Structure 1
Amino acid sequence: IDFDVGLRNLDLIMGCERRVVYDLINVIQNEATLNQALIKDKHCDNLYVLPASQTRDKDALTRDGVEKVLNDLTDKMGFEYVVCDSPAGIEQGALMALYFADEAIVTTNPEISSVRDSDRILGILSSKSRRAETNSIPVKEHLLITRYAPERVEKGEMLSVQDIQEI
Protein backbone atom coordinates (compact mmCIF):
# COMPACT_ATOMS: atom_id res chain seq x y z
CA ILE A 1 0.00 0.00 0.00
CA ASP A 2 1.35 3.42 -0.95
CA PHE A 3 0.61 5.78 1.95
CA ASP A 4 2.16 8.85 0.32
CA VAL A 5 -1.15 10.60 -0.40
CA GLY A 6 -0.68 13.53 -2.77
CA LEU A 7 2.79 12.41 -3.86
CA ARG A 8 2.31 8.79 -4.84
CA ASN A 9 5.15 7.08 -6.67
CA LEU A 10 4.94 3.39 -5.81
CA ASP A 11 2.90 2.87 -8.99
CA LEU A 12 5.76 4.40 -11.01
CA ILE A 13 8.40 2.25 -9.33
CA MET A 14 6.29 -0.88 -9.86
CA GLY A 15 5.59 0.02 -13.50
CA CYS A 16 1.82 0.11 -13.19
CA GLU A 17 1.15 3.87 -13.34
CA ARG A 18 -0.98 3.55 -16.50
CA ARG A 19 -3.24 1.01 -14.81
CA VAL A 20 -4.28 3.16 -11.84
CA VAL A 21 -8.04 3.73 -11.89
CA TYR A 22 -8.89 3.76 -8.19
CA ASP A 23 -6.72 4.33 -5.14
CA LEU A 24 -6.51 3.90 -1.37
CA ILE A 25 -8.66 6.96 -0.66
CA ASN A 26 -11.35 5.78 -3.09
CA VAL A 27 -11.51 2.53 -1.10
CA ILE A 28 -11.56 4.28 2.29
CA GLN A 29 -14.37 6.58 1.15
CA ASN A 30 -16.36 3.67 -0.36
CA GLU A 31 -16.02 5.02 -3.91
CA ALA A 32 -14.38 1.76 -5.03
CA THR A 33 -13.81 -1.75 -3.72
CA LEU A 34 -10.42 -3.20 -2.89
CA ASN A 35 -10.75 -5.51 -5.89
CA GLN A 36 -11.23 -2.49 -8.14
CA ALA A 37 -8.30 -0.56 -6.69
CA LEU A 38 -5.69 -3.31 -6.34
CA ILE A 39 -3.32 -3.59 -9.30
CA LYS A 40 -1.84 -7.04 -9.92
CA ASP A 41 1.85 -7.07 -10.75
CA LYS A 42 2.59 -8.42 -14.24
CA HIS A 43 5.74 -10.25 -13.16
CA CYS A 44 4.93 -11.67 -9.72
CA ASP A 45 1.73 -13.67 -9.25
CA ASN A 46 1.17 -12.82 -5.60
CA LEU A 47 2.06 -9.13 -5.66
CA TYR A 48 -0.47 -6.31 -5.79
CA VAL A 49 -0.18 -2.53 -5.47
CA LEU A 50 -2.76 -0.31 -3.82
CA PRO A 51 -1.77 3.18 -4.99
CA ALA A 52 -2.14 6.35 -2.97
CA SER A 53 -4.27 9.18 -4.26
CA GLN A 54 -2.45 11.77 -6.33
CA THR A 55 -5.13 14.44 -5.92
CA ARG A 56 -6.68 14.03 -2.47
CA ASP A 57 -5.58 15.57 0.80
CA LYS A 58 -3.67 13.55 3.40
CA ASP A 59 -6.50 14.17 5.88
CA ALA A 60 -8.64 11.74 3.87
CA LEU A 61 -6.67 8.95 5.55
CA THR A 62 -8.65 7.96 8.62
CA ARG A 63 -7.67 5.43 11.24
CA ASP A 64 -10.98 3.57 10.84
CA GLY A 65 -10.66 3.57 7.05
CA VAL A 66 -7.08 2.28 7.07
CA GLU A 67 -7.95 -0.37 9.65
CA LYS A 68 -10.85 -1.59 7.49
CA VAL A 69 -8.62 -1.81 4.40
CA LEU A 70 -5.95 -3.75 6.30
CA ASN A 71 -8.52 -6.09 7.86
CA ASP A 72 -10.18 -6.71 4.50
CA LEU A 73 -6.81 -7.50 2.89
CA THR A 74 -5.87 -10.03 5.56
CA ASP A 75 -9.20 -11.45 6.74
CA LYS A 76 -11.37 -11.37 3.63
CA MET A 77 -8.81 -11.56 0.83
CA GLY A 78 -6.28 -13.81 2.55
CA PHE A 79 -3.15 -11.69 2.22
CA GLU A 80 -0.40 -13.03 4.50
CA TYR A 81 1.73 -9.89 4.26
CA VAL A 82 0.79 -6.27 3.66
CA VAL A 83 3.72 -3.93 3.05
CA CYS A 84 2.93 -0.31 3.78
CA ASP A 85 5.19 2.13 1.95
CA SER A 86 5.34 5.14 4.21
CA PRO A 87 6.26 8.64 3.06
CA ALA A 88 9.31 10.35 4.51
CA GLY A 89 8.71 12.52 7.53
CA ILE A 90 5.99 12.48 10.14
CA GLU A 91 2.67 13.22 8.50
CA GLN A 92 -0.69 11.50 8.22
CA GLY A 93 0.38 8.78 5.77
CA ALA A 94 3.43 7.88 7.81
CA LEU A 95 1.52 7.97 11.08
CA MET A 96 -1.15 5.61 9.71
CA ALA A 97 1.44 3.12 8.45
CA LEU A 98 3.31 3.30 11.77
CA TYR A 99 0.18 2.97 13.87
CA PHE A 100 -0.86 -0.36 12.37
CA ALA A 101 2.63 -1.86 11.98
CA ASP A 102 3.49 -5.31 13.29
CA GLU A 103 7.01 -5.04 11.93
CA ALA A 104 8.82 -1.98 10.57
CA ILE A 105 11.82 -1.42 8.34
CA VAL A 106 12.98 2.15 8.88
CA THR A 107 15.45 3.39 6.29
CA THR A 108 18.16 5.92 7.00
CA ASN A 109 21.22 7.40 5.35
CA PRO A 110 24.50 7.61 7.28
CA GLU A 111 24.03 11.35 7.89
CA ILE A 112 23.23 12.88 11.27
CA SER A 113 19.94 14.47 10.16
CA SER A 114 18.64 11.26 8.60
CA VAL A 115 19.66 9.16 11.61
CA ARG A 116 17.97 11.61 13.97
CA ASP A 117 14.76 11.46 11.89
CA SER A 118 14.87 7.66 11.93
CA ASP A 119 15.33 7.68 15.69
CA ARG A 120 12.20 9.82 15.97
CA ILE A 121 10.26 7.31 13.83
CA LEU A 122 11.46 4.45 16.04
CA GLY A 123 10.28 6.43 19.06
CA ILE A 124 6.82 6.80 17.52
CA LEU A 125 6.69 3.06 16.85
CA SER A 126 7.45 2.30 20.48
CA SER A 127 5.05 4.87 21.94
CA LYS A 128 2.22 5.64 19.51
CA SER A 129 1.57 2.46 17.55
CA ARG A 130 -1.53 0.36 18.17
CA ARG A 131 0.70 -2.23 19.82
CA ALA A 132 2.08 0.41 22.19
CA GLU A 133 -1.41 1.71 23.01
CA THR A 134 -2.68 -1.78 23.84
CA ASN A 135 0.49 -2.89 25.69
CA SER A 136 0.94 -5.71 23.17
CA ILE A 137 4.18 -7.20 21.95
CA PRO A 138 6.25 -4.25 20.63
CA VAL A 139 6.56 -3.61 16.91
CA LYS A 140 9.56 -5.53 15.57
CA GLU A 141 11.96 -2.82 14.39
CA HIS A 142 14.69 -2.93 11.76
CA LEU A 143 16.98 -0.09 10.73
CA LEU A 144 18.15 -0.26 7.11
CA ILE A 145 21.15 1.91 6.28
CA THR A 146 21.21 2.99 2.64
CA ARG A 147 23.96 4.70 0.62
CA TYR A 148 26.60 3.32 2.97
CA ALA A 149 30.17 3.55 1.67
CA PRO A 150 32.95 2.13 3.91
CA GLU A 151 35.60 4.14 2.05
CA ARG A 152 33.75 7.38 2.92
CA VAL A 153 33.54 6.27 6.56
CA GLU A 154 37.33 5.77 6.60
CA LYS A 155 37.79 9.32 5.26
CA GLY A 156 35.48 10.70 7.96
CA GLU A 157 32.91 11.83 5.39
CA MET A 158 30.14 9.55 6.62
CA LEU A 159 28.86 8.10 9.89
CA SER A 160 29.94 4.55 10.71
CA VAL A 161 27.50 1.82 11.73
CA GLN A 162 28.77 2.22 15.31
CA ASP A 163 28.13 5.99 15.16
CA ILE A 164 24.59 5.33 13.94
CA GLN A 165 23.95 2.79 16.72
CA GLU A 166 25.17 5.27 19.34
CA ILE A 167 22.82 7.99 18.08
Structure 2
Amino acid sequence: MGAERRVVFDLISVIKGEAKLSQALIRDKRLDTLALLPASQSRDKDSLTNEGVAQIIGDLRTQFDWVICDSPAGIEKGATLAMRHADVAVVVVNPEVSSLRDADRIIGMLDAKTAKAESGQRIDKHLLLTRYDPVRARRGEIMKVEDVLEILSIPLLGIVPESGEVLLSSNIGAPVTLGSPGSAPAQAYLEAARRLKGEGTGVVIVNDKPRLLQRLFARRAA
Protein backbone atom coordinates (compact mmCIF):
# COMPACT_ATOMS: atom_id res chain seq x y z
CA MET A 1 0.00 0.00 0.00
CA GLY A 2 3.02 2.27 -0.05
CA ALA A 3 2.67 3.26 3.62
CA GLU A 4 6.00 2.03 4.95
CA ARG A 5 7.42 5.48 5.67
CA ARG A 6 4.24 6.66 7.37
CA VAL A 7 4.32 4.13 10.21
CA VAL A 8 4.72 5.77 13.63
CA PHE A 9 2.76 3.42 15.89
CA ASP A 10 1.72 -0.17 15.24
CA LEU A 11 -0.53 -2.96 16.50
CA ILE A 12 1.70 -3.75 19.47
CA SER A 13 1.87 -0.05 20.42
CA VAL A 14 -1.91 -0.05 20.78
CA ILE A 15 -2.07 -3.35 22.67
CA LYS A 16 0.56 -2.15 25.16
CA GLY A 17 -1.21 1.17 25.66
CA GLU A 18 1.58 3.24 24.13
CA ALA A 19 -0.77 4.78 21.55
CA LYS A 20 -4.45 5.09 20.79
CA LEU A 21 -5.95 3.17 17.90
CA SER A 22 -6.63 6.42 16.06
CA GLN A 23 -2.92 7.31 16.26
CA ALA A 24 -1.81 3.99 14.79
CA LEU A 25 -4.28 3.86 11.90
CA ILE A 26 -2.81 5.09 8.60
CA ARG A 27 -5.40 6.52 6.24
CA ASP A 28 -4.87 5.69 2.58
CA LYS A 29 -4.13 8.73 0.40
CA ARG A 30 -6.21 7.43 -2.51
CA LEU A 31 -9.28 5.98 -0.79
CA ASP A 32 -10.65 7.87 2.19
CA THR A 33 -12.58 4.80 3.38
CA LEU A 34 -9.45 2.62 3.57
CA ALA A 35 -7.04 2.52 6.52
CA LEU A 36 -4.10 0.34 7.55
CA LEU A 37 -3.14 -0.80 11.04
CA PRO A 38 0.47 -1.96 10.64
CA ALA A 39 1.92 -4.96 12.42
CA SER A 40 5.33 -4.64 14.02
CA GLN A 41 8.33 -5.82 12.00
CA SER A 42 10.84 -5.47 14.81
CA ARG A 43 9.19 -5.76 18.24
CA ASP A 44 8.63 -8.93 20.23
CA LYS A 45 5.64 -10.81 18.82
CA ASP A 46 4.99 -12.26 22.30
CA SER A 47 3.46 -8.88 23.12
CA LEU A 48 0.50 -9.93 20.97
CA THR A 49 -2.23 -11.33 23.20
CA ASN A 50 -5.61 -12.80 22.42
CA GLU A 51 -7.29 -10.24 24.68
CA GLY A 52 -5.44 -7.33 23.06
CA VAL A 53 -6.23 -8.45 19.51
CA ALA A 54 -9.88 -9.07 20.45
CA GLN A 55 -10.20 -5.56 21.87
CA ILE A 56 -8.69 -3.93 18.78
CA ILE A 57 -10.83 -5.95 16.37
CA GLY A 58 -13.89 -5.03 18.41
CA ASP A 59 -13.01 -1.34 18.19
CA LEU A 60 -12.35 -1.59 14.45
CA ARG A 61 -15.73 -3.25 13.88
CA THR A 62 -17.43 -0.08 15.10
CA GLN A 63 -15.54 2.07 12.59
CA PHE A 64 -15.37 0.00 9.41
CA ASP A 65 -17.66 -2.21 7.32
CA TRP A 66 -14.85 -4.72 6.72
CA VAL A 67 -11.91 -5.58 8.99
CA ILE A 68 -9.40 -7.70 7.06
CA CYS A 69 -6.71 -9.43 9.11
CA ASP A 70 -3.78 -10.28 6.86
CA SER A 71 -2.27 -13.37 8.42
CA PRO A 72 1.45 -14.13 8.24
CA ALA A 73 2.32 -17.21 6.22
CA GLY A 74 2.52 -20.53 8.02
CA ILE A 75 0.78 -21.73 11.17
CA GLU A 76 2.55 -19.82 13.92
CA LYS A 77 1.06 -17.61 16.67
CA GLY A 78 0.42 -14.69 14.33
CA ALA A 79 -1.79 -16.80 12.09
CA THR A 80 -3.68 -18.20 15.06
CA LEU A 81 -4.42 -14.73 16.42
CA ALA A 82 -5.45 -13.42 13.02
CA MET A 83 -8.05 -16.15 12.57
CA ARG A 84 -9.22 -16.29 16.18
CA HIS A 85 -12.08 -13.79 15.87
CA ALA A 86 -12.84 -14.18 12.16
CA ASP A 87 -16.37 -14.35 10.75
CA VAL A 88 -15.17 -15.44 7.31
CA ALA A 89 -11.83 -16.84 6.13
CA VAL A 90 -10.16 -16.42 2.76
CA VAL A 91 -7.50 -19.11 2.41
CA VAL A 92 -4.89 -17.86 -0.06
CA VAL A 93 -2.77 -20.51 -1.76
CA ASN A 94 -0.28 -20.93 -4.58
CA PRO A 95 -0.65 -24.03 -6.79
CA GLU A 96 2.28 -25.76 -5.08
CA VAL A 97 2.35 -28.74 -2.73
CA SER A 98 3.99 -26.89 0.18
CA SER A 99 1.41 -24.11 0.03
CA LEU A 100 -1.46 -26.60 -0.05
CA ARG A 101 -0.09 -28.44 2.97
CA ASP A 102 -0.09 -25.24 5.04
CA ALA A 103 -3.53 -24.31 3.73
CA ASP A 104 -4.96 -27.71 4.67
CA ARG A 105 -3.59 -27.30 8.18
CA ILE A 106 -5.04 -23.78 8.42
CA ILE A 107 -8.48 -25.06 7.37
CA GLY A 108 -8.32 -27.59 10.20
CA MET A 109 -7.38 -24.86 12.67
CA LEU A 110 -10.25 -22.66 11.47
CA ASP A 111 -12.63 -25.49 12.39
CA ALA A 112 -11.03 -26.07 15.78
CA LYS A 113 -9.19 -23.08 17.23
CA THR A 114 -11.43 -20.07 16.56
CA ALA A 115 -14.01 -18.34 18.72
CA LYS A 116 -16.76 -19.52 16.38
CA ALA A 117 -15.56 -23.12 16.54
CA GLU A 118 -15.55 -23.06 20.33
CA SER A 119 -19.17 -21.89 20.32
CA GLY A 120 -20.19 -24.71 17.99
CA GLN A 121 -20.35 -22.62 14.80
CA ARG A 122 -18.48 -23.04 11.52
CA ILE A 123 -16.53 -20.31 9.76
CA ASP A 124 -17.32 -19.79 6.10
CA LYS A 125 -14.13 -20.56 4.20
CA HIS A 126 -13.23 -19.48 0.67
CA LEU A 127 -10.28 -20.44 -1.52
CA LEU A 128 -8.30 -17.80 -3.42
CA LEU A 129 -5.81 -19.40 -5.80
CA THR A 130 -3.01 -17.01 -6.76
CA ARG A 131 -0.08 -17.04 -9.19
CA TYR A 132 -1.82 -19.53 -11.44
CA ASP A 133 -0.31 -20.24 -14.86
CA PRO A 134 -2.29 -22.71 -17.02
CA VAL A 135 0.73 -23.33 -19.26
CA ARG A 136 2.86 -24.46 -16.33
CA ALA A 137 -0.09 -26.50 -15.04
CA ARG A 138 -0.29 -28.38 -18.35
CA ARG A 139 3.41 -29.13 -18.12
CA GLY A 140 2.91 -30.56 -14.63
CA GLU A 141 5.15 -27.90 -13.05
CA ILE A 142 2.34 -26.68 -10.76
CA MET A 143 -0.96 -28.17 -9.65
CA LYS A 144 -4.12 -27.80 -11.71
CA VAL A 145 -7.18 -26.01 -10.37
CA GLU A 146 -9.25 -29.19 -10.05
CA ASP A 147 -6.47 -30.87 -8.05
CA VAL A 148 -6.27 -27.95 -5.63
CA LEU A 149 -10.06 -27.99 -5.16
CA GLU A 150 -10.08 -31.75 -4.59
CA ILE A 151 -7.41 -31.52 -1.88
CA LEU A 152 -8.77 -28.52 0.05
CA SER A 153 -12.51 -29.05 -0.54
CA ILE A 154 -13.65 -25.47 0.11
CA PRO A 155 -15.51 -23.15 -2.29
CA LEU A 156 -13.44 -21.33 -4.88
CA LEU A 157 -13.55 -17.55 -4.50
CA GLY A 158 -11.24 -16.64 -7.38
CA ILE A 159 -8.20 -17.44 -9.49
CA VAL A 160 -5.49 -14.79 -9.80
CA PRO A 161 -3.21 -15.44 -12.77
CA GLU A 162 0.57 -15.18 -12.61
CA SER A 163 1.60 -11.77 -13.93
CA GLY A 164 4.47 -9.32 -13.79
CA GLU A 165 1.91 -6.54 -13.22
CA VAL A 166 1.69 -7.50 -9.54
CA LEU A 167 5.42 -6.94 -9.00
CA LEU A 168 5.37 -3.69 -10.97
CA SER A 169 2.52 -2.33 -8.86
CA SER A 170 4.24 -3.42 -5.67
CA ASN A 171 7.40 -1.58 -6.72
CA ILE A 172 5.48 1.70 -7.02
CA GLY A 173 3.73 1.15 -3.69
CA ALA A 174 0.24 0.40 -4.97
CA PRO A 175 -2.07 -2.59 -4.97
CA VAL A 176 -2.40 -4.04 -8.46
CA THR A 177 -6.08 -3.01 -8.50
CA LEU A 178 -4.92 0.63 -8.48
CA GLY A 179 -1.45 0.37 -10.01
CA SER A 180 -2.63 -1.62 -13.02
CA PRO A 181 -6.44 -1.67 -12.90
CA GLY A 182 -6.86 -3.09 -16.40
CA SER A 183 -4.62 -6.10 -15.81
CA ALA A 184 -5.88 -9.66 -15.42
CA PRO A 185 -4.77 -9.95 -11.74
CA ALA A 186 -6.56 -6.69 -10.87
CA GLN A 187 -9.78 -7.89 -12.47
CA ALA A 188 -9.47 -11.24 -10.70
CA TYR A 189 -9.06 -9.57 -7.30
CA LEU A 190 -11.99 -7.22 -7.92
CA GLU A 191 -14.23 -10.10 -8.96
CA ALA A 192 -13.19 -12.10 -5.88
CA ALA A 193 -14.04 -9.12 -3.66
CA ARG A 194 -17.49 -8.87 -5.26
CA ARG A 195 -18.11 -12.58 -4.66
CA LEU A 196 -17.05 -12.20 -1.02
CA LYS A 197 -19.71 -9.48 -0.67
CA GLY A 198 -22.29 -11.80 -2.21
CA GLU A 199 -22.28 -10.07 -5.59
CA GLY A 200 -21.17 -11.20 -9.03
CA THR A 201 -21.22 -14.60 -10.68
CA GLY A 202 -19.39 -17.88 -10.28
CA VAL A 203 -15.70 -18.36 -10.98
CA VAL A 204 -14.67 -19.18 -14.52
CA ILE A 205 -12.03 -21.89 -14.13
CA VAL A 206 -9.08 -21.45 -16.45
CA ASN A 207 -9.09 -24.10 -19.15
CA ASP A 208 -6.03 -26.30 -18.73
CA LYS A 209 -6.33 -27.67 -22.27
CA PRO A 210 -4.46 -25.71 -24.95
CA ARG A 211 -6.57 -23.99 -27.55
CA LEU A 212 -6.23 -24.87 -31.22
CA LEU A 213 -4.36 -21.65 -32.05
CA GLN A 214 -1.98 -22.24 -29.16
CA ARG A 215 -1.28 -25.77 -30.41
CA LEU A 216 -0.72 -24.56 -33.98
CA PHE A 217 1.60 -21.80 -32.80
CA ALA A 218 3.57 -24.21 -30.64
CA ARG A 219 3.91 -26.62 -33.57
CA ARG A 220 5.07 -23.87 -35.91
CA ALA A 221 7.56 -22.54 -33.34
CA ALA A 222 8.96 -26.04 -32.89
TM-score w.r.t. the length of structure 2 is 0.66
What one-letter code is carried by the residue in structure 2 that aligns with 1:100?
H
1:19 aligns with 2:6: yes
Moved over 4 A (4+): none
One of 96, 101, 104 as aligned partner of 1:116 = 101
Distance across 2 between alignment mates of 1:23 and 1:154:
44
Letter in 2 for 1:31: E
Total equivalences in the alignment: 151
Partner of 2:204: none
Alpha-carbon distance in structure 1 between the residues aligned to 2:42 and 2:141: 40
* Structure 2 unaligned spans of 5+: 152-222
* Aligned counterpart, 2:89: 104
In structure 2, the residue matched to 1:11 is: none
Displacement of 1:54 after TM fit? Answer: 2.1
Deviation at 1:61, TM superposition (A): 0.7
Q: Which residue of 1 aligns with 2:201?
A: none
Q: Give the Å deviation of 1:99.
A: 0.9
Aligned equivalents of 1:107, 1:152: Cα separation in 2: 19
The residue aligned with 1:3 is none
What residue identity is the alignment partner of 2:133? Answer: A
The DSSP-based 3-state class of the residue aligned with 2:112 is helix
Report what 1:126 is aligned to: 111
- CA offsets, 1:19-60, max 9 Å, x none? 111000000011100010000000001000000112211111
Q: Is 2:69 the counterpart of 1:74?
A: no
SS at match of 1:147: strand
Q: CA deviation at 1:111?
A: 1.1
Aligned counterpart, 2:130:
146
Paired letter, 1:30: G
2:57 counterpart of 1:57 = no
Moved more, 53-62 or 27-36: 53-62
Q: 1:86-101, aligned counterparts within 5 Å?
A: 86-101=71-86
Q: Structure with the greater relative contact order (CA < 8 A, sep ≥ 6): 1 or 2?
A: 1
Larger radius of gyration: 2
5+ residue gaps in structure 1? 1-13
